[in-house]
Each structure stands twice: as C-alpha cells, then as structure tokens.
Chains A and B, each alone.
Chain A
C-alpha cells in the first residue's frame, strides 16, 4: 500500500479498531516516511551546497 493512502485516512471518520498487524504496518510506514522525508530534507540542503560550488565555477 502506498504511504499516501495510509496518510489520507480521515481521523474524524469512525473506524473499526484496526488489527495489530495493521497498526504495526502503519507505524513502520510512518517511520519509513520519516526516514524518506529526512533524507529528502538533508538531500535538498546538500543540493544547495553543491549548487553553490557550481555557481563558483560558472
């Protein structure tokens, strides 16, 4: 399941109690999203530094 589908769950919508397997999968996916987004954040700043060096050479 795509991460976006998990995140698009509306918290105000009444839901049946999720199974333990679902909860474990959800937490794991959220953690994976943390890793992906933190990597993207650091990567963007890394790109910025690389861009600065490229500007120096231009």
Chain B
C-alpha cells in the first residue's frame, strides 16, 4: 500500500461526501414536484408524455397498483429487448452484420438489462449491433435505473407519510427520474467522455494494419452515450467485452475517477433525499455513515490484499516490491494505467453499488482481494448500492436492526416514528430470503451437474468461487463477472436469468408492501424510550445486523471458496 494510493482513495471518498447534499437537495425537489433548473426544458416534454400516455399526474397509486405498473412496464421492456436481439440481423444500424442473438442468450440479456444487472454472457462488440446497443440496452439502462430510484422513493414516502393509502404515481416518478435526473447528467457526461477520447459514432469497425503488417479490427460505435448511463445508473454493462479496462471505454485516469464517482453519486445523494423527506437530514447521514464504514473496511482489505506479494511467485523472476517503476504486489489482471489502488477501489465501488463494471480482472485478484467484491454483493449491496436499490436494501436492514433492538429492550420496535409490526417484519424477511434462496440453490446445483461444472476454467475452491460469484452477481443485480466461467450456455443463461429476476423483483415487491403498510400508519411521537436512529449506536447496530445476516447466511459458502483458496495458497497450492 502506498501513500499515493491511500490519498487517491481518500480523495474519492471526500468528493462523494461533498456531492451528497447538493445532489440530495436537487433530487428531493424533483420528486416533490417542485420547479428545478431543468423545468423549462423538460417540463413541456413531461406534460406531453403524460398526455400521450393518458397519465393523470395528480392521481396517486396504492402500493399494489404501483407494483403491478412496475411489473408490466418491465415486462414490456424485456419483450421489446428480446425481439430486438432476435431480429437484429434484419434491423438497420448494424454495419458489422451481427447475426441474430441466440434465444437463450436473448432471454438472459433481456432479464439482465431490465433488472439493472447487466450481466453479459456475450462480448458486446462481437455480438450486438448499434441499434440493439442504443435502442435496446441503453434504453434499459435508463429505465432500470429510474425504476430503482422510484422504488426507493416509494419506500421513503412510506416512512414520511401518515395515514395515507397511496405511495405516489409510478409513471410520474419514472418520468421525472429519467427526465430530470438521469438524462441531463448523461448528456453532460457523454460530452465529457467524447472530449476525453471515448468514441461516439455509427461507423463500421476500422481495419488497421499493425507495424508487423498484421490486420487488426478496431471496434467502435456509440460508446460514450452508453458509458454515461452505464455508470450513473449503476448498470455496468460494457459496450466492449473488456468493459472499463478497454482504452476506448476508460481512456485515462481522469475518466476512471469520474466513472467511479458517478457510480456512487446518485446512491449517496438518495440517502440525503431520505433524510430530507422524513424531516431530519441526520437520518440520512446515519445511513450514509453505516455505508461509509463498510466501504472503508472493504476497500482497505482489498487494497491491502492486492498489495501483498504472491508467495507462489517466490523464487521466480517476478518483481513484486514497491519501487519508483513498479506498484509492487499483485499486478496480474490489472491495467498498468490504473495500478493496484485504482483497481482495488474500482472493484470495491462497483460491487458496493450494483454497477458491475470492471477495470480489472477479479478472477486474478488474490483470494482475499477477490473475496471483497464477493462479500460486498452477498451483503445485499447496501453499501451505497445500486441507484435506489441500495437505499431500499439498507432500509430493510434498518427495519431488522430496529426489530432486534426492540426485542432486546422489550418494546414495540419503531423507526422514523413508525411502529414496526408483524407485516413489516414478515415482508422484510421475505425480501432478505430471496437472494440466498437463488444464490445457494443454483450454486449448489451448478457445482454438481455436468452442465454447471463444464463452464468453469479452474478446479477446486477457485472453480467454486467462479460459480458462486456468478450467482451472487446475478442475484445482487450486480452483473460483474469474476471471470473464468463460460456462462453462455443454455443452463447458465436460463438459471442466471431466473436468478436475476428473483434477486430484483422478489425484493422490490415486499419493499413496496412495506411502503404501503407504513404509509397507512400514524406517526408515533418520540419518547424517552425511543431508540435514537441518528447516532453512532444505531450505525453500529445497523452495520452489525448487516454483517451478521450476511455472515450467517453465506459464511460456509465463502469458506469453501476464497478462504480455502487463501489457506491453500499459503501452503503452496494453486488452482
């Protein structure tokens, strides 16, 4: 670990802290229906959309109506995306003549992009034409991100409203999240990326002649516009197969920093939205403090692990010491442009959030370094998390934390002035059980059947980690790949598709049910016995509950993968 590396990580955290409050204030105004900077530009567009779609913006919805609207909207999105991929060869903007995408891969990709996972069982530049990239994948990047934001808002409204039967209007929230938050930011980011050298064109790939006289195909296309929302919407699906390790998708250190900042920006800002909407900003800061504590530990462990020399290289002519010319440590699978600190930081951020973009190869991390992204996902991606998904994820954990606190002191638990009763706790438990159900069951099946084992590139604990990581990534709607797993098979495409679906909607639906139940309740005034939820005790309790729930559920599986691999490595065995 170097001072320079630590300084860069500290700089990143400081910028996020500075951005949180202004972003939170802006988004609160947007979702409260107040006028904003973009009102004059997008106001007429917004009203025209409502007229065309027959939406009454003043009519609010019961949580069930909200949920059904969300499901139908996502179903239509998935069907359109599936059709675009299957009919790709017949459609325009396909200068490379990419063939129709196979049915099982289309199924997987449609669910992947609708659920904000962006797991990619394909290489972007060798599979998808420009129309699918723009009208299919990029559109879903916007829609799935907006869906996550509005669902978090619905849950926040559940806390902030009193005696209400409604939690907002899905169509209005979705439109405002897209028009006022995602679209303006993405226009600015796209222009920035183009300025920094990211391609944005519709040209056919260029055939270049190398110095040796060989021919090389250089892929390009509408990259910058997809890159902007890929990071801001915590989608993570790359235009190129190498994702943000590709020089066209991440040309320099400045772009790398901006990409990392945009992954966390909206998620961090939403904690402030939460504080403002429940009438006490400190509630939002307490949530962000819990996230921040886990983030610091995660990035610290990952950076430390990757800075260590690999003992298996002892005696080989490999220089692993820090010097003026070398960052030292484990440089396998890392871009030399970014080095160890920025790769460890990127890997931690991308799995804290549900982004899944990568600028290095997680498969090549040291066992304990690779364990950090895995554990981040297994904890439910509540460390800032996906846009919206992180906030509603950690609020579910907060409900469990307050339930535990209530049991300890013998009082009916309450949070933000709302009594937490059987309905809320039952829904929270249902939401928390969805992820382990699909992760553990599908990992176990895939480790046992030939169709599952055939996909792994390594034996032993590393091979298990490849399978376990894939289902963790799918269920957490992260989408990053550990690497080493050939997932473009019928088994993995279908099983991961189902995993992504359950990991998204079987958490969202109980969260909306909680929103509906809480909104209908009266507020309980704080008393001497009320557990304060803005102080360090609450932050510690929340972090403890998250670690215990994650630890109890997944520790045996984590032990079988990276932990055993680390111990074996120390004993001189590799896989």
Stretch at the interface among B164-172, B472-480, B509-517: B509-517
A56: Cβ under 8 A from any B Cβ: yes
- In the bound assembly, the distance between CA atoms of A15 and B405 in angstroms comes to 66
Contact between A52 and B111, CB atoms less than 8 A apart: no
Q: How far is the CB of A35 from chain B (nearest CB, A)?
A: 9
Given contacts A34-B103, A42-B75, A58-B426, contact A7 B490 (CB under 8 A): yes
Q: Is B451's beta carbon under 8 Å from chain A?
A: yes
Residues in A whose Cβ lies below 8 Å from that of B451: 4
* Total contacting residues, chain B, CB less than 8 A: 37
A23 vs chain B, min Cβ distance (A) = 15
Which B residues are in CB contact (< 8 Å) with A52? 64, 67-68, 71, 509, 512-513
A43 to B385, CA, bound (A): 28
- Residues B104 and A56 in contact, CB atoms below 8 Å apart: no
Q: Quick one: which of B68, B79, B106, B107 contacts A49, CB cutoff 8 A?
A: B68
Total CB contacts across the A-B interface at under 8 A: 76
Say if the beta carbon of B427 comes within 8 Å of chain A. yes
Which residues from chain B contact A8 at a C-beta distance below 8 Å? 489-490
> Contact residues of B with A, CB < 8 Å?
63-64, 67-68, 71-72, 74-75, 78-79, 82, 86, 102-104, 106-107, 110-111, 423, 426-427, 430, 451, 489-491, 494, 498, 501, 505-506, 509-510, 512-513, 516
With a 10 A CB-CB cut-off, give which of A3, A49, A53, A55 has the most chain B CB atoms.
A55
Separation of A44 and B509 alpha carbons in the complex (Å): 13
- Min CB distance B243 to A, Å, is 23
Q: A42-B79, A55-B509 are in contact. List 12 more A-B contacts (CB 8 A).
A: A7-B104, A8-B490, A33-B104, A40-B494, A40-B498, A45-B72, A45-B78, A52-B71, A52-B509, A55-B430, A58-B427, A58-B513
Question: Which residue among A34, A37, A40, A48 has the maximum number of chain B CB atoms within 10 Å of its CB?
Answer: A48
Q: Is the CB of A45 within 8 A of B513?
A: no
- B101 smallest CB distance to A (angstroms): 11
Contact in complex: A37, B107 (CB < 8 Å): yes
Query: B residues within 8 A CB of A40?
Result: 107, 494, 498
Interface pair B103/A51, CB less than 8 Å apart: no
- B71 pairs with A45, CB closer than 8 A: yes
Q: How far is the CA of A55 from the CA of B427 in the complex (A)?
A: 7
Known: A33-B103, A41-B107. A51 touches B64 (CB 8 A): no
Q: Are A55 and B510 also in contact (CB < 8 A) when A4-B491, A7-B490 are?
A: yes
Give the complex CA separation of A34 and B506 in angstroms: 25
Residues of A within 8 A of B (CB): 3-4, 7-8, 30, 33-34, 37-38, 40-42, 44-45, 48-49, 51-53, 55-56, 58
Question: How far apart are A39's CB and chain B's nearest CB, in angstroms?
Answer: 11
Min CB–CB distance A45 → chain B (angstroms): 4
Query: Which one of A3, A4, A33, A41 contacts B110 once the chains associate, using CB atoms below 8 Å?
Result: A41
Q: CB distance A48 to B426 under 8 Å?
A: no
Q: How far is the CA of A52 from the CA of B170 in the complex (A)?
A: 15
Which single residue of chain A is at the shortest CB-CB distance from B102? A7
Interchain Cβ contacts under 8 Å between A and B, 10 examples: A4-B491, A7-B102, A33-B104, A37-B106, A41-B79, A45-B72, A45-B75, A48-B506, A52-B513, A58-B426
Question: In the complex, what residues of A have CB within 8 A of residue B512's CB?
Answer: 52
- Contacts of B78 on A, CB cut-off 8 Å? 41, 45
Residues from chain A with a CB closer than 8 A to the CB of B79 are: 38, 41-42
A4-B451, A37-B494, A58-B423 in contact; A48/B71 too (CB < 8 A)?
A: yes
Set of chain B residues within 8 Å of A51, measured between Cβ atoms: 505-506, 509
Which of B102, B103, B110, B489 has the most chain A CB atoms closer than 10 A to its own CB?
B103
Given A51-B506, A51-B509, A3:B75 Cβ within 8 A: no
Contact B103 A45 (CB under 8 A): no
Q: A55-B510, A58-B423 are in contact. Are A48 and B505 (CB under 8 A)?
A: yes
Alpha-carbon distance between A45 and B76 when the two chains are bound, in angstroms? 10
A55–B428 CA distance with the chains assembled, in angstroms: 11
Residue of B nearest to A33 (CB): B103
A37 to B67, CA, bound (A): 24
Collect the chain A residues with CB atoms within 8 Å of residue B74's CB. 45
**Alpha-carbon distance between A8 and B455 when the two chains are bound, in angstroms:** 12
Q: Are B427 and A49 in contact (CB under 8 A)?
A: no
B64 x A56 contact (CB < 8 A): yes
List the A residue with the shortest CB-CB distance to B430: A55
